[in-house]
Amino acid sequence: MNGKILIVDDEPAQQQLLRYNVEKSGFDVLLVDNGNDALNIVDEVSPDLIVLDWMIPEASGIDVCYELRSRPETRYLPILMVSARGEDVDLAMALDAGADDYITKPFSPRELIARIKSLLRRSRPTLLQDKLEFGGLELNPETMRVKRDGDDIHLGTREFKLLSLFIERPERVFSRDQLLDLIWGHGVYVEDRTVDVHMSRLRSALNKRSDGGPDRPDMIRTVRGAGYALTKNIK
């Protein structure tokens, strides 16, 4: 599945409970413990959904919602608000601030995951599909199998994650910095050249034919000074 979920909560026990259940369901997880860090990291890693606690330091969950909805790039980012506050007025306040859904503590892991998937079905329907397809490519997130024109494509873990990102957002150009944050993780030091190496491996694997025939047309477009994109055959 490999959708990216940002969890914002300042209670260590709650953090670990949320992380365990969300990762168990096949999602990648990022954790921060305050509102300001949440606002900063959203621009860097582009999560698919935020699980946002109301009572967090520096900027409350309500403040974070208002700020995210004021930014064009995060106006439609799914937000699941988590709180111990269960009155109707609290639900109304969270929804007015921009939350898409609201779950009251204590809650079951099953309900949490069901609500996450419900939001993603509306915002990122391809993320929950068993198989992603684009331009002759087929990618199965569960089995990590890839085919191109019916041929099996063998990829390393990083190359598979890169292709998953590209096939979910075909034609979108990702910069090296964005790929570093999204694939290697925010705050992890990796040289820019590392991205180029893995993109070269991905390109080679996609183009090579299993029968030894001429290489297939390239699907990885290099945009000078901008980054990389997955596109229809370009040569």
Parent domain of 146: 132-230
Reading the chain (235 residues) residue by residue, the pLDDT tens digits are 568 899 999 999 989 999 999 999 888 999 999 999 999 999 788 899 999 999 999 999 999 999 999 988 888 899 999 998 878 898 899 999 999 999 998 889 999 999 999 998 887 766 666 678 888 899 887 778 899 988 999 999 899 989 988 988 888 999 988 888 778 876 567 776 899 999 999 999 999 988 888 888 999 999 988 899 999 866 5
The pTM assigned to this predicted structure is 0.60
**Number of compact structural domains in the chain:** 2
Q: How many residues does the chain have?
A: 235
- Looking at residue 179, its pLDDT comes to 87
Residue 120 shares a structural domain with residue 143: no
- Alpha-carbon span 79 to 47, nearest angstrom: 10
Residue 17 shares a structural domain with residue 52: yes
Residue 22 shares a structural domain with residue 70: yes
Residue 102 shares a structural domain with residue 56: yes
